[in-house]
Amino acid sequence: MKFFRILITLACLPALFLTANGQSKKTEPVSTVQPIGIETLLRLDLLPQIKTQVYTGAFTSYDRSGGNDDGFSGKYSFLRKEGDQLVIAEMEGPGVVTRIHMPDPQEGYMEFYLDGEKTPRISLKIKEYFDGKHLPFLAPLTGSGVGGYYSYVPISYQYSCKIMIRDCPVFTFYDFNYVKYPANTVVQTYQNPPSPEWLQKIEEAGKILNSAGTDISPYLAGPGIQPESKKIRGTAAPGKPLEIFKMNK
List, for residues 132-175, the tens digit of each pLDDT value: 999 999 999 999 988 899 999 999 999 999 999 999 988 889 99
Residue 248 lies in a domain: no
Residue 226 lies in a domain: no
Angle at 209 between CA 12 and CA 145, to 5 degrees: 95
Distance (Å) of CA 237 to CA 8, 144, 234, 246? 38, 45, 10, 19
What values do phi and psi take at 97, rounded to 5? -80, 120
pTM of the entire structure?
0.75
Residue 237 lies in a domain: no
Burial classification of residue 1, based on how many CB atoms lie within 10 Å of its CB (0-12 exposed, 13-18 middle, 19 or more buried): exposed
Give the total number of structural domains in the chain: 1
Residue 145 lies in a domain: yes
User: pLDDT tens digits, residue range 216-231?
Assistant: 777 776 667 777 777 8
Amino acid residing at 104: D
Residue 249 lies in a domain: no
Say if residues 8 and 177 touch (Cβ distance below 8 Å).
yes
Res. 37: pLDDT tops 50: yes
Full domain range(s) for residue 24: 2-221
User: pLDDT tens digits, residue range 85-96?
Assistant: 999 999 998 999
Dihedral sign from CA coordinates of 27, 28, 32, 38: positive
Residue 85 lies in a domain: yes
In this prediction, residue 27 has a pLDDT band, given cuts at 50, 70 and 90, of low
Residue 60 lies in a domain: yes
CATH number for the domain including 23? 2.60.120.1390
